[in-house]
């Protein structure tokens, strides 16, 4: 453990191993888990608030939970565990609000194919998660020949008709966040970063990076208001991008779209034509261990569907997973906050089959990187979802004892080194 939040910090630098106040590593671990879950939830809540959705109970919980992490307030593992699970419950509400706000403002999501590459015209690449920034940019670029492209977690914007139908939204460019230094340099136009995951830019392109509100990087220009004239002018000054084209991407398997197909899927489950569902997704990253997720998905049986979301999906797109019941086997549900949708699908299928989510032939393999993924994991634990696999590494803030509690209570496990063996165990039935 390490804590330096009060005057008593050991040696004037920080308490390691044990707190001067009496805090031990398990209490510190749960307080950090709570803090990180709150951070992820706060990002989602910020997006929802900007779209007019707030919940007083969520705001009150944030205050209460932060209070519990102060010096000399709580040294009690069970009550901190309760707060950690409550954070998961509140995050479910926040993700629900965000989903409702997106659908209400941008229309009923539907399946669509998205062009990749760039057209021979000035261009702006929009990355991050904030759809309202994209909407405002599109409104301000209308009537010009500046084309707008989504990057990373903005890809799901194309599933919403109000955004998709805008004449200046020209397609998608690039993959997950960890590739952005190469991709942003290669893009050649202006870049607008609306949230995480933005990296400190290389000098080569930092003068064409713009960020919004709390997002900021050295060398970039931070826009505090929803006025995008500087980005548009920069794109025009940079001139036309080269014409490039890549493979089309299929997006738009929002939970409402999948649940509309549920009767056919359930009939196929009854006939044994569909025998497993996987949720494989979340964040992405540069570590070599992340090929676990693509290998897991590539070896999933042809009689299974793979629901994916977050930028972890980009790792799965290289492989052709084929089709099942006329649908792609790999169903892109959207951004990481669309984990809410995956929960809706799981509870919908369980309800139709008259069983609990833990009785479904369902395997969840969560690729985590930062605090939004922590919030989503806490939501799944709050719902009592068992046997989730997380990786590629164990969260450093979980102490051995806290991890053991989660293992014993929820069957939480870590990704191994052999995706095929873990897949085979998942399909074996004994451990789900």
The answer to whether residue 338 forms part of the interface with ligand SF4 (CB under 6 A) is: no
Return the structure tokens found at 134. 């994209």
Looking only at Cα atoms, what is the longest distance across the chain?
Answer: 67
Q: Which of 138, 336, 364, 385 binds ligand SF4 (CB under 6 A)?
A: 336
Q: Which of 290, 369, 419, 423 binds ligand SF4 (CB under 6 A)?
A: 369
| CB burial string 56-94: b at 16+ within 10 A, e below | eebeebeeebeebbeeeebeebeebbebbbbbbbbbbbb
Q: Looking at beta carbons only, is 241 or 388 nearer to ligand SF4?
A: 388
Q: Is the dihedral of CA 274, 280, 281, 286 positive or negative?
A: negative
Residue 373: CB minimum distance to ligand SF4, A = 6
The answer to whether residue 5 forms part of the interface with ligand SF4 (CB under 6 A) is: yes
Q: Which of 6, 60, 139, 214 binds ligand SF4 (CB under 6 A)?
A: 6
Interface stretch with ligand SF4, choices 356-364, 368-376, 380-388, 392-400 (CB under 6 A) = 368-376
The answer to whether residue 422 forms part of the interface with ligand SF4 (CB under 6 A) is: no
Q: Looking at beta carbons only, is 118 or 196 nearer to ligand SF4?
A: 196
CA gap 130, 367 in Å, rounded: 21
Distance from the Cα of residue 179 to its chain's centroid: 16
Q: Looking at beta carbons only, is 20 or 62 nearer to ligand SF4?
A: 20
List binders of ligand SF4 among 50-89 (CB under 6 A).
71
Interface stretch with ligand SF4, choices 7-15, 130-138, 261-269, 392-400 (CB under 6 A) = 7-15
CA gap 102, 133 in Å, rounded: 13
CA gap 191, 214 in Å, rounded: 16
List binders of ligand SF4 among 290-319 (CB under 6 A).
310-311
Show the site string, 135-164: x = touches ligand SF4 by CB under 6 A, - = not. -----------------xx-----------
For residue 298, what are the CA distances in angstroms to 167, 206, 323, 408, 423? 36, 37, 13, 30, 10
Residue whose C-alpha is closest to residue 61's, from 98, 94, 26: 94
CA gap 391, 414 in Å, rounded: 6
Q: Which of 36, 160, 177, 292 binds ligand SF4 (CB under 6 A)?
A: 177
List binders of ligand SF4 among 183-212 (CB under 6 A).
196-197
Q: Using only C-alpha atoms, what is the Rg of the chain?
A: 22
List binders of ligand SF4 among 105-124 (CB under 6 A).
none
Site of interaction with ligand SF4 (CB under 6 A): 3-6, 8-9, 15, 19-21, 23, 71, 152-153, 177, 196-197, 283-284, 310-311, 336, 369-370, 372-373
């Amino acid at each position: 453990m390490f804590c330096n939040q009060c005057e008593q910090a050991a040696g004037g630098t920080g308490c390691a191993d044990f707190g001067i106040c009496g805090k031990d590593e398990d209490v510190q671990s749960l307080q950090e888990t709570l803090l990180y879950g709150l951070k992820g939830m706060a990002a989602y809540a910020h997006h929802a608030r900007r779209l007019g959705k707030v919940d007083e109970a969520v705001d009150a919980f944030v205050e209460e939970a932060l209070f519990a992490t102060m010096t000399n307030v709580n040294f009690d593992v069970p009550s901190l565990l309760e707060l950690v699970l409550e954070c998961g419950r509140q995050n479910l509400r926040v993700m629900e609000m965000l989903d409702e706000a997106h659908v209400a403002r941008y229309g009923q999501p539907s399946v669509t194919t998205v062009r990749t590459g760039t057209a021979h015209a000035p261009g702006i690449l929009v990355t991050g998660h904030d759809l309202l920034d994209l909407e405002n940019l599109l409104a301000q670029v209308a009537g010009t020949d500046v084309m707008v492209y989504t990057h990373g977690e903005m890809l799901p914007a194309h599933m919403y008709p109000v955004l998709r139908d805008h004449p200046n939204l020209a397609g998608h460019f690039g993959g997950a966040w960890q590739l952005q230094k190469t991709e942003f340099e290669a893009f050649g136009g202006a870049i607008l970063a609306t949230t995480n995951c933005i990296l400190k830019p290389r000098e080569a392109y930092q003068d064409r990076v713009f960020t919004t509100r709390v997002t900021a990087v050295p060398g970039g220009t931070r826009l505090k208001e929803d006025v995008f004239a500087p980005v548009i002018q920069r794109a025009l000054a940079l001139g036309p991008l080269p014409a490039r084209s890549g493979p089309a991407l299929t997006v738009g398997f929002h939970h409402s779209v999948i649940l509309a197909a549920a009767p056919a899927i359930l009939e196929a489950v009854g006939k044994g034509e569909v025998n497993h569902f996987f949720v494989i997704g979340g964040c992405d990253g540069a570590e070599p261990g992340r090929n676990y997720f693509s290998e897991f998905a590539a070896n999933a049986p042809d009689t299974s569907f793979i629901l994916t979301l977050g930028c972890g999906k980009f790792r799965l797109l290289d492989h052709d997973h084929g089709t099942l019941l006329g649908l792609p086997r790999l169903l892109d549900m959207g951004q990481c906050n669309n984990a809410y949708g995956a929960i809706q699908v799981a509870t919908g299928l369980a309800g139709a089959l008259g069983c609990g989510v833990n009785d479904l032939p369902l395997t969840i393999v969560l690729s985590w990187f930062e605090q939004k993924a922590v919030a989503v994991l806490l939501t799944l634990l709050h719902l009592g979802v068992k046997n989730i696999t997380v990786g590629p590494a164990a969260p450093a803030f979980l102490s051995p004892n806290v991890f053991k509690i989660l293992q014993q209570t929820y069957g939480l496990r870590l990704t191994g080194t052999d995706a095929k063996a873990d897949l085979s165990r998942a399909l074996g039935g004994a451990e789900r």
